[in-house]
Structure 1
Amino acid sequence: MKKFEQLIKYGAENIFSDIHIGGGSKTVFRQHGINHSNNQFVWSHKELDALVGQLLDEYQKDTLLTRHSVDLSRTVQKVRLRMHIFHAMTGFSISIRLLPGKVHSIEGVNLHPSLKNFCKPGPGLILVCGASGSGKTTTIAAIIEEINRNHSANIVTLEDPVEYIFNSKKSLIVQRELGIQIPSYKQGLIDIMREDLDVVMVGELRTAEEMTLALHAAESGHLVIASLHASTPEEAIYRICNSATAELQEMIRHQLAVALKLLITQEFYFLKDFGFRVPMLSIMVNTQSTRGIIRDNNLSQIESTLQTSRDDGMYSIDQYRSYLDNRKDYSPPSVVFKPSSEDESGAALFHTPTLFLSRQKGAEIKKTEDKRVSHHEKKIQKEDKSIDELSPHYVINEDTRLDEIIKEIKK
């Protein structure tokens, strides 16, 4: 574990976004989107097996055993990590994402200051879209933190896994992890209707059911903040509307047109003059114009609307690139990724022993029942066998007379 801690410290000091470890091979780091290899940190298969054993709790080990992969988050050397451990032909492999050292404000992670206007409780849907590794989670965390610092709200997050750990400030924040505190995003979205919430964050909308439930939650008075894999506003809206069956798509379009408050798509942009990457956004605000576009399914008009609606706070990706090139004040990675000095002990993940013992007891009962069933089946088989062996067998020839058959049976 000491070697792993040294690796994470080295990664944080050099502002690496990702680290990839494989047994018997060199470690690969990603810095500003470019991969670099390093022979300083090499794990043998035996060392990597031991490391995996130290990183995982019993629940996660069970998941790895049954699914051959597991997602988890940890704080190591005051650096927050999101990890994916999986089986490969060469043994275990670990992909590690290094997250900013603490939850920052909108300005703290170099987002547009106008986003603060949307960081308040109230009915609606905020979508943060982009490819994997585009910084969606960090953007959502910054939005949540703005609400946390400035508004008194009840907030719940549904995550897979929990990445940033929030400390409640003006707001009360409860975090739930998929597979541990909730069985599915669907169940988490159903639960929020009974939890007196103002804001709900959904780690990712994946299925038609989840998207529909998120829209219902937004319509019922909650601020729903969610991520979606989509590269453009058109693709995001298309994905949500077309996730429904054909007969429901028009209804979903009308719901989305009303509920959507803000749609962001993002990717990273390298600033040559500064030597680091920052989020580059397209920003679509729900106005009368965009509501009509969504409702009437005229998605091809979105790009031109973004370009001509700067007064409404909208940006196309090209306009935002120009904004970044002209901007002079940025938070450097040395500040963004600086290890946290906040005490996270009060907000750390806690797996309640009540549920663990309950699950353990349930497993023991099932095991006992399985044994009983198995014993009963064996007993029946044994009894069937003995009866079968002791029972006489008669082959009756149709030409045999009845009195001869009776005589044979009596014997």
Structure 2
Amino acid sequence: MELTELLAFAVKNGASDIHLTAGLPPMIRIDGDIKRVKVDALDEAFVREMVTDVMTEEQKAEFEEHWECDFAFEIPNLSRFRVNAYNQKRGVGAAFRTVPTKILTLEDLGAPQVLRTMADNVRGLVVVTGPTGSGKSTTMAGMINYVNETQHGHILTIEDPVEFVHESKNCLINHREVGLHTHGFAKALKSALREDPDIILVGEMRDEETISLAL
């Protein structure tokens, strides 16, 4: 089974995550539960080939040097995927998270009015938290989409990797990806202050410096 075929199967069956790991069949998460795909176990060389085939040369170099790598890619007319490739006892592994190419609006999400109120604020800090798979990225994308449709400003996103890709509607939107367009969250935040932003979306707060700069 080729990677594109496997990912298409997973999306068709409503999977949120797809796991490839050497020595085991592919596994997908549906409604919170991990389920095995009924195919043969994957050997290490095949998993490595599938994962590195969708990496850029820079990502391949990072993976070889650091033994793990975060990146995203898109299969047209199917979905976008956020990927973490890593090494484990049996060899290479990778976790693919499906990211819909269609950005859901706050109305689609059934979001409370308070999210629109927060998005309308001219100043302030909004922190979106929750466990893995709880909808943090989808919620932030919905809020950014709302601002993009109702305001006129500059929205700057700093992510690792870029998940939802927004088209500039009423707003100018620039996406910056750590490792491709900047060396780190903190460095990008420092530069952001000179880029005339109205809204800055930071994908993750990983260290004290980034948190301090955000505050």
The TM-score range, normalised by the shorter chain, is over 0.9
Task: Say if 1:73 and 1:80, in contact at 8 Å, map to a contact too.
Answer: yes
Q: CA RMSD in A?
A: 1.6
Task: Say if 2:148 and 2:168, in contact at 8 Å, map to a contact too.
Answer: yes
TM-score for the superposition, normalised by structure 1:
0.50
Structure 1 residues 157-236: aligned runs within 5 Å: 157-215=157-215
Aligned partner of 2:36 in structure 1 is 37
Structure 2 residue identity aligned to 1:87: N
Higher helix residue share: 1
SS, match of residue 175 in structure 2 = strand
Aligned partner of 1:119 in structure 2 is 119
- Pairing 1:12–2:6 present: no
1:149, 1:14 → 2: CA distance?
A: 32
The answer for unaligned runs of 5 or more in structure 1 is: 216-411
1:73, 1:111 → 2: CA distance?
A: 26
Structure 1 residues 390-405: aligned runs within 5 Å: none
2:116, 2:191 → 1: CA distance?
A: 28
Moved segments of 4+, more than 3 Å: none
Provide Cα deviations, 1:56-112, integer angstroms capped at 9, x if missing partner: 111101110111000010112530100111111211101011122321111222322
1:147, 1:41 → 2: CA distance?
A: 47
Structure of greater Rg: 1
TM-score for the superposition, normalised by structure 2:
0.93
Structure 1 residues 5-404: aligned runs within 5 Å: 5-40=4-39, 42-77=41-76, 78-120=78-120, 122-215=122-215
Q: Offset of 1:46 from its aligned partner? A: 2.5
Q: Offset of 1:42 from its aligned partner? A: 4.4
Aligned partner of 1:385 in structure 2 is none
Task: Say if 1:82 and 1:96, in contact at 8 Å, map to a contact too.
Answer: yes
Q: Offset of 1:121 from its aligned partner? A: 5.6
Q: 1:42 to 1:113 in 2, by over 3 A?
A: farther
Provide Cα deviations, 1:285-330, integer angstroms capped at 9, x if missing partner: xxxxxxxxxxxxxxxxxxxxxxxxxxxxxxxxxxxxxxxxxxxxxx
1:37, 1:46 → 2: CA distance?
A: 20
Structure 1 residue identity aligned to 2:188: G
Q: 1:135 to 1:41 in 2, by over 3 A?
A: farther
Aligned length: 214
Q: Offset of 1:20 from its aligned partner? A: 0.5
SS, match of residue 169 in structure 1 = coil
Task: Say if 1:154 and 1:196, in contact at 8 Å, map to a contact too.
Answer: yes
1:160, 1:84 → 2: CA distance?
A: 10
Q: 1:138 to 1:116 in 2, by over 3 A?
A: same
1:196, 1:190 → 2: CA distance?
A: 12
Q: Offset of 1:172 from its aligned partner? A: 0.6
Aligned-residue sequence identity (percent) comes to 29
